[in-house]
């Protein structure tokens, strides 16, 4: 498994970086830190100070400075438009959310936000209940309606990039997976993306990116690293696949209905979006299998998280294809 520290070329004790972060953001005196060992690409950790707890997101070295600015602006857009997400902090010197810090020859690009005392649904090993599904769907619709069109950032995991990732990675998957992924590829190629409604999409509203506050039960969206201006059906499909489908057909379809009804209470879908939804659901599962397989083989990623998502994608691909795309 790749070292989390290697993602940012960390060559000093994390505590040394934390002391600097605490000072330039006015967070009080540093007490301790803890790495968050889930997620891909960036380096996230919990910073505890005399004033409280915070999340520090240090952007991966694979991202350019321009990327980090774009990614920060995405999170700021959601935060300043009232989406339920952790509060972002500005640094003291320049009054900016994003900071560039150089220590021992390494430049760190980072943002700081509130730590929510609670857990994501992946850590809780549970799915949102019906009431929570309604809250998530309505919040997602509000997000998709924000008038914000950031520069496109390519995301290997995005449904919209399925064709490119299929051509690069289809040779890596198992024979059984390939049979279904090939069928999804054929169906996806028939969709006219220009007929879909576009909006500001999070791109990854899944169990790892929704925090449930322990005391209040309030839900927060986190990690806008793959947000883009894309067909909003991308967000709907990703969320349904991960939050609604439990592979029991009757219950899964019921949860989908709850989610879609809540979303459409804020922002109704077009008839063409409804026609395409099942194909987008299948495509999300297909690209999940492609990318987790690539991570496992090419990146030597043997983490529990990657293995869980690979298995989930494989089971989900069969469920969605057999129970939804054939109807």
Q: How many CA atoms lie within 13 A of 79 on its CB side?
A: 18
Pairwise CA distance, residues 305 & 4, whole Å: 14
Burial class of residue 104 in the structure, from the number of CB atoms within 10 Å of its CB (0-12 exposed, 13-18 middle, 19+ buried):
exposed
- In contact, 109 and 233? CB cutoff 8 Å: no
| E-strand stretches of the chain | 30-35, 43-49, 53-58, 99-103, 106-114, 118-120, 198-201, 210-213, 219-221, 228-231
Give CA–CA dist 45/66, Å, rounded. 22
Residues 6+ apart with CB under 8 A from 194: none
pTM for the predicted model, two decimal places = 0.86
- Give pLDDT < 70 ranges for the chain: 1-2, 247-249, 323-327
CA 306 to chain CA centroid, Å, is 14
DSSP string, 274-292: HHHHHHHHHHHHHHHHHHH
| Residue-level pLDDT at 1 | 37
């Amino acid at each position: 498994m790749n070292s989390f520290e290697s993602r940012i070329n960390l060559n000093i004790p994390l505590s040394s970086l934390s002391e600097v972060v605490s000072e330039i953001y006015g967070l009080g005196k540093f007490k301790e830190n803890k790495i968050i060992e889930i997620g891909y690409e960036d380096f996230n950790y919990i910073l505890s100070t005399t004033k409280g707890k915070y999340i520090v997101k240090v952007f991966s070295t694979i991202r350019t400075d321009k990327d980090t600015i774009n990614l920060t602006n995405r999170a700021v857009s959601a935060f300043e438009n009232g989406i339920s997400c952790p509060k972002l902090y500005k640094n003291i010197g320049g009054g900016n959310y994003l900071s560039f810090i150089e220590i021992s020859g390494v430049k760190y690009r980072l943002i700081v936000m509130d730590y929510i005392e609670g857990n994501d649904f992946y850590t809780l090993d549970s799915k949102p209940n019906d009431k929570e599904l309604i809250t998530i769907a309505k919040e997602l619709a509000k997000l998709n309606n924000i008038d914000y069109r950031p520069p496109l950032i390519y995301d290997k995991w995005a449904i919209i990039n399925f064709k490119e990732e299929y051509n690069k990675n289809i040779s890596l998957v198992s024979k059984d997976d390939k049979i279904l992924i090939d069928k999804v590829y054929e169906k996806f190629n028939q969709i006219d993306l220009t007929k879909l409604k576009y909006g500001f999409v999070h791109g990854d509203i899944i169990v790892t990116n929704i925090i449930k506050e322990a005391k209040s039960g309030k839900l927060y969206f986190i990690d806008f690293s793959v947000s883009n201006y894309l067909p909003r059906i991308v967000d709907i499909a990703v969320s349904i696949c991960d939050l609604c489908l439990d592979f029991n057909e009757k219950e899964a379809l019921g949860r989908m209905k709850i989610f879609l009804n809540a979303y459409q209470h804020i922002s109704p879908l077009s008839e063409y979006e409804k026609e395409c939804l099942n194909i987008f659901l299948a495509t999300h599962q297909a690209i999940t299998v492609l990318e987790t397989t690539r991570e496992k083989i090419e990146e030597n990623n043997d983490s529990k998280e990657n293995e869980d998502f690979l298995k989930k994608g494989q089971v989900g691909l069969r469920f969605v294809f057999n129970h939804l795309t054939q109807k």
